[in-house]
Chains A and B, each alone.
Chain A
Amino acid sequence: DAGITQSPRYKITETGRQVTLMCHQTWSHSYMFWYRQDLGHGLRLIYYSAAADITDKGEVPDGYVVSRSKTENFPLTLESATRSQTSVYFCASSDGYEQYFGPGTRLTVT
């Protein structure tokens, strides 16, 4: 299917576990982004990527790792999940100006 997809849509994990959130886009956009959305904070940028093998930190990168070996995929890994990482995570892709968002992953860390 065309567009941007995220998986899983819902995830419950325990503190200390490693979790990977997947993001896939079919537009061949160069830019991809990971955000988290929390009440009171709005959308905050975690990491972004300008192209395959090029990534950079955003506003709140601590505790997260990203990779981008292929243009279409941009996975986000929580190396050791903490309760403060309970949030809704959105992936987005861009052709340079307009960003398009995925449906989100709701992550709960218990």
Chain B
Amino acid sequence: GQQLNQSPQSMFIQEGEDVSMNCTSSSIFNTWLWYKQDPGEGPVLLIALYKAGELTSNGRLTAQFGITRKDSFLNISASIPSDVGIYFCAGQRISGGSNYKLTFGKGTLLTVNP
């Protein structure tokens, strides 16, 4: 099936640093979602983006819907230890009867050193 290219695969940073990660696709998406997954838990929705060029914040998190509709970016400012986890991007493409299925990236594993 279709895949999103999410990078980097992993990051090891110091507490207080800013973090950037992104997802790219060869196809256009109508919606981009960013999730965080803690060990042993389900993914939790962080930010949803619906319009090309849209920039949305949720606390220290900021995500952008790329102007080409083929990419999205997530930034975390002033990282803290509880930011540790796996971050997933997901894209939704309106297409016939499969309007509401998501395509997921493989995830970015974030480790924050206190």
Using a CB–CB distance below 8 Å, which chain A residues touch chain B?
31, 33, 42-43, 45, 48, 50, 56, 58-59, 90, 92, 94, 96-104
Contacts and interface: CB of A to CB of B under 8 A. Distances in A.
Contacts, number: 48
A104 B42 contact: yes
Interface in B26-51: 31, 33, 35, 40-45, 48, 50
Interface stretch (B60-68, B77-85, B101-109): B101-109
Interface residues of B, number: 24
Contacts of B31: 97
Interface of B: 1, 31, 33, 35, 40-45, 48, 50, 88, 90, 92, 97, 99-102, 104-107
Main secondary structure of the interface of A (DSSP, over half): strand
Contacts of A99: 33, 45, 90, 102
Contacts of B101: 33, 45, 48, 58
